[in-house]
């Protein structure tokens, strides 16, 4: 029995139980409303989407071509339109997620206004956005199903029973727009207890996957900026434990934890861990420090000294009190961070890199997989990279290594438009086109995301519209580049009232008030100009 048929049967039984007092209740109408609101709470969503992620991870382990993807969305409407477009163009939401970037929350959703990505936004901002995203995704379900119910009614009215049955089949097998969200908790916003409390809020809002990073919480920096300060493993692992306990407390047994390390680009630490025996995690962390050998006579009063291999050494320390790691230790620290995180209960890894280079990513991941064979990566296809320049340089280096003549190119100026249609540029674009598939195959990347695409698309589209609308094109700038495109590409928002729920509201009015309903979708509604 399908979801609609089951809901209809349940309401019919309830109506029969309550008798005449429920005489005005139409079981078909109630069943439609039930089907249009499949998820009643954020926890329902978290449990449902966590199971999806676990299934997808298992399928990826068997075949790396089954990688998953997402785009960062800073508003519920943006996330909604993304998933509507995914369903329309690709037929399914399978293996397409949403990403919720702390960077965009800071830049676009903080009550304090635009902020840098330095854990400065309100703790509640991320849970609030998770809830907002899922509210809009559930509304997308309601709208699409409402359109199907209307189409079924129209088919029945024409006596087209076969057509009505076909539409009913679509309703019974409807694929929801609700998909997993990978939610950024930054560095946990404080101690493990604070991390646990915030995680609970995020899960209750619908999050099935929490991404947490190993920076010091109160001086956290964007992964593509300088000045990053990592924490000892025990401190980070306590927060991983806090996230897991939050999942278990709320009954989300399949909850997923992404452990992010910023060690590739971080050269500082605030804290020296306690080492209980040589070779333990604390010892390994300390051994990465930049040090110089000193004698006791050379030591200053009240400074920090360490005994290392029978010698007295002074760790390099900045005026801020932060300790420096030795040059060239970053990759080894990344590998250790990743292995230790997996052994501490993380499910997936995140490594920030200096450039989007498949070989460089694979070098790190393969070293991790020597110790943890099932290690899988979440990778940030970041807009902080200059993708055109990076890949043209990679193509240049490959051509040169193959003995091809590269004298027509200036490697330092490959971003120039003059190279756009050259052999090198086309080769670079092909590398960009296949980057995700190549990186998943070579570096075991399970999930590809773009953190900030809709930050940039919003800015770009507004730039283009403002240029034309306030210039010579006037209204044509909107009509030509927005509305006409919407109409011809079948973008649902061309009928913005319907997209926002006007048709659903009309149907509800009829359900509640019958013939007395004052509906908005009559002959004088200007949306009728769009077909």
Q: Which residues are catalytic, by number? A: 222
**DSSP H or E run through 68:** strand 68-72
Directed axis angle between helix 387-401 and helix 423-433, to 10°? 120
3-state secondary structure of 230: strand
Task: Give the strand pairing for 306-308 and 181-184.
Answer: unpaired
Q: Please, what is the Cα angle at 352 between 348 and 357, to 5 degrees?
A: 105
Beta bridge partners of 215: 230
Measured between alpha carbons, how far is 106 from 121 in angstroms, rounded to an integer? 5
Measured between alpha carbons, how far is 165 from 161 in angstroms, rounded to an integer? 6
List Cα–Cα distances, 324 to 223, 328, 369, in angstroms.
Answer: 18, 12, 28
Q: From the CB of residue 286, how many other CB atoms can be counted at a distance below 10 Å?
A: 20
Collect all residues with Cβ–Cβ distance below 8 Å to 463 and sequence separation of at least 6.
none
The answer to whether 179 and 92 have CB atoms below 8 angstroms apart is no
* Main-chain phi, psi angles of 297, to 5 degrees: -65, -30
The answer to whether 203 and 250 have CB atoms below 8 angstroms apart is yes
Q: Which of 72, 187, 54, 35 is nearest to 123 (CA)?
A: 187
Q: From the CB of residue 493, how many other CB atoms can be counted at a distance below 10 Å?
A: 13
The answer to whether 74 and 455 have CB atoms below 8 angstroms apart is yes
DSSP string, 166-203: HHHHHHHTPPPS---EEEE-TT-SSSHHHHHHHHHHHH
DSSP string, 94-121: TTEEEEE-HHHIIIII-TT-S--TTT-S
Measured between alpha carbons, how far is 508 from 44 in angstroms, rounded to an integer? 25
The answer to whether 222 and 216 have CB atoms below 8 angstroms apart is no
Structure token pair of residue 303: 């400074």
Measured between alpha carbons, how far is 176 from 83 in angstroms, rounded to an integer? 10
Q: From the CB of residue 433, how many other CB atoms can be counted at a distance below 10 Å?
A: 11
Measured between alpha carbons, how far is 278 from 271 in angstroms, rounded to an integer? 18
Could you tell me the sign of the dihedral formed by the alpha carbons of 312, 318, 320, 323, in that order?
A: negative
The answer to whether 331 and 297 have CB atoms below 8 angstroms apart is no
């Amino acid at each position: 029995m399908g979801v609609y048929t089951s809901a209809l049967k349940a309401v019919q039984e309830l109506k029969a139980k309550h008798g005449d007092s429920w005489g005005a209740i139409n079981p078909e109408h109630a069943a439609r409303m039930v089907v249009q609101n499949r998820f009643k709470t954020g926890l329902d969503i978290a449990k449902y989407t966590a199971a999806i992620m676990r299934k997808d991870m298992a399928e990826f382990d068997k075949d790396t071509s089954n990688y998953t993807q997402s785009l960062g969305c800073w508003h519920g409407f943006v996330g909604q339109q993304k998933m509507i477009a995914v369903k329309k163009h690709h037929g399914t939401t399978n293996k397409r997620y949403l990403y919720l970037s702390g960077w965009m929350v800071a830049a676009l959703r903080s009550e304090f206004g635009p902020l840098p990505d330095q854990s400065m936004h309100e703790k509640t901002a991320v849970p609030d956005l998770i809830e907002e995203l899922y509210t809009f995704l559930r509304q997308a379900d309601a709208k699409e199903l409402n359109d199907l119910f209307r189409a079924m009614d129209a088919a029945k009215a024409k006596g087209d029973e076969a057509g009505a049955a076909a539409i009913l089949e679509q309703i019974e097998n409807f694929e929801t727009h609700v998909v997993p969200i990978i939610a950024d908790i930054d560095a946990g916003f404080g101690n493990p207890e604070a991390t646990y409390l915030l995680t609970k809020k995020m899960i209750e809002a619908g999050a099935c996957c929490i991404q947490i990073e190993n920076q010091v919480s109160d001086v956290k920096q964007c992964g593509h900026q300088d000045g990053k300060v990592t924490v000892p493993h025990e401190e980070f692992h306590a927060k991983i434990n806090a996230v897991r306990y939050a999942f278990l407390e709320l009954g989300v047994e399949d909850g997923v934890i992404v452990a992010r390390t910023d060690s590739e680009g971080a050269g500082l630490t605030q804290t020296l861990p306690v080492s209980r025996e040589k070779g333990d995690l604390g010892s390994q962390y300390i051994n990465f420090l930049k040090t110089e050998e000193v004698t006791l006579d050379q030591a200053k009063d009240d400074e920090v000294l360490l005994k290392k291999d029978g010698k007295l050494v002074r760790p390099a320390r900045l005026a801020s009190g932060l300790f420096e790691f030795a040059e060239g230790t970053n990759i080894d620290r990344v590998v250790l961070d990743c292995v230790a995180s997996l052994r501490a209960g993380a499910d997936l890894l995140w490594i920030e890199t200096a450039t989007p280079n498949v070989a460089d990513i694979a070098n790190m991941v393969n070293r991790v997989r020597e110790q943890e064979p099932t290690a899988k990566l979440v990778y940030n296809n970041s807009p902080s990279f200059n993708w055109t320049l990076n890949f043209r340089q990679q193509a240049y280096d490959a051509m040169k290594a193959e003995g091809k003549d590269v004298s027509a190119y200036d490697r330092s100026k490959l971003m120039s438009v003059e190279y756009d249609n050259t052999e090198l540029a086309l080769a670079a674009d092909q590398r960009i086109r296949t980057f995700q598939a190549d990186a998943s195959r070579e570096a075991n990347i399970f999930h590809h995301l773009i953190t900030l695409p809709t930050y940039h698309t919003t800015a770009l589209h507004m730039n283009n519209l403002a240029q034309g609308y306030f210039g010579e094109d006037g209204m044509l700038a909107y009509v030509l580049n927005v509305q006409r495109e919407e109409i011809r590409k079948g973008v649902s928002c061309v009928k913005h009232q319907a997209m926002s729920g006007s048709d659903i509201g009309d149907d509800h009015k009829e359900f509640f008030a019958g013939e007395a309903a004052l509906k908005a979708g009559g002959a004088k509604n200007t949306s009728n100009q769009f077909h």
